[in-house]
Amino acid sequence: MDRYRIPPGAAVRLGALPTRDDGGMDKHEGKQRLKELNERLEALQEMLYAEGKHKVLVVLQATDTGGKDGTIRHVFDGTNPQGVKVASFKRPTERELAHDYLWRVHAHTPGNGEIVIFNRSHYEDVLVVRVHGLVPPERWSKRYAHIEAFERMLADEGTTILKFFLHISAGEQAERLQARLDDPTKHWKFSVGDLAERKRWDDYRAAFEEMLSRTSTEHAPWYVVPADRKWYRNLVVATVLVEALEGLGMSYPEPEDDLSGVVIE
């Protein structure tokens, strides 16, 4: 999966990166592999929770219809909700706006034994804020350094950070928006405002490119995941996550008492 990882300081041109990939396998094979990874992730997450030494932060960013919800649903299928939490960052409240932009984020970072998934994140403050001109450039442009320092602090305190940009094409987005319109059960997902945001495609692309270039680090890397094929998107995210957890060298803790002579009667 290293081919999807953005090296620190690399210039990113999303137009040159694939949105549609299959890793040399077909959909059936990919889904079977994902099932195996789900089972492995379930076991690793249980060990993470039991050991209580490590913490993992997963950040998901994408354009509208990029598949953040679907990724969470399929990749984390079977994991224990006691140890896996999702934090969704929507439009900030008045109380949140009265504080610095990282204030609402820090409280949701993982504790020992936890995996926390950010469905959108602190990166909205260099994306939506930038594209819509909610604060002046001289203000949001300083936030890349703030964010890098924030993530450095989390990593130094023992958090494994994995960030995924779910990369879809404009054509795929159009198909997904149309599918929402065509299916009454998905109308709740559709907003007329989505069409206005789509017209800002180039502005968002520029914002994403700078975000990826300036905030992919050794301690908090970005992966640009080809996401036009949903099954392959899920497979990439699951593979990166499982490999990262396996690299933590976890083990189940020893029991506090000697259990060798214990008999249940």
DSSP 170-216: HHHHHHHHHHHHH-GGGGGG--HHHHHHHTTHHHHHHHHHHHHHHH-
Q: What's the pTM?
A: 0.95
What's the pLDDT score for residue 261? 80
What does the alpha-carbon distance between residue 242 and residue 34 come to, in Å, rounded to a whole number?
A: 11
Q: Check residue 198 and give its pLDDT.
A: 95
3-state secondary structure at position 39: helix
Query: Which residues in the chain show pLDDT less than 50?
Result: none
Output the pLDDT for position 263.
86
Alpha-carbon torsion 178, 179, 184, 188, what sign? negative
Sheet of 159-167: strand order equals: 84-88, 115-119, 55-62, 159-167, 222-226
Give CA angle at 183 (178, 188), nearest 5°: 90
CATH architecture of 2-246: 3-Layer(aba) Sandwich (3.40)
Tens of pLDDT along 36-71? 999 999 999 999 999 999 999 999 999 999 999 999
pLDDT of residue 137: 97
In the chain, domain spans:
2-246
pLDDT at 225: 98
pLDDT at position 139 is: 97
pLDDT the model gives residue 180: 94
pLDDT tens sequence across 101-121: 999 999 999 999 999 999 999
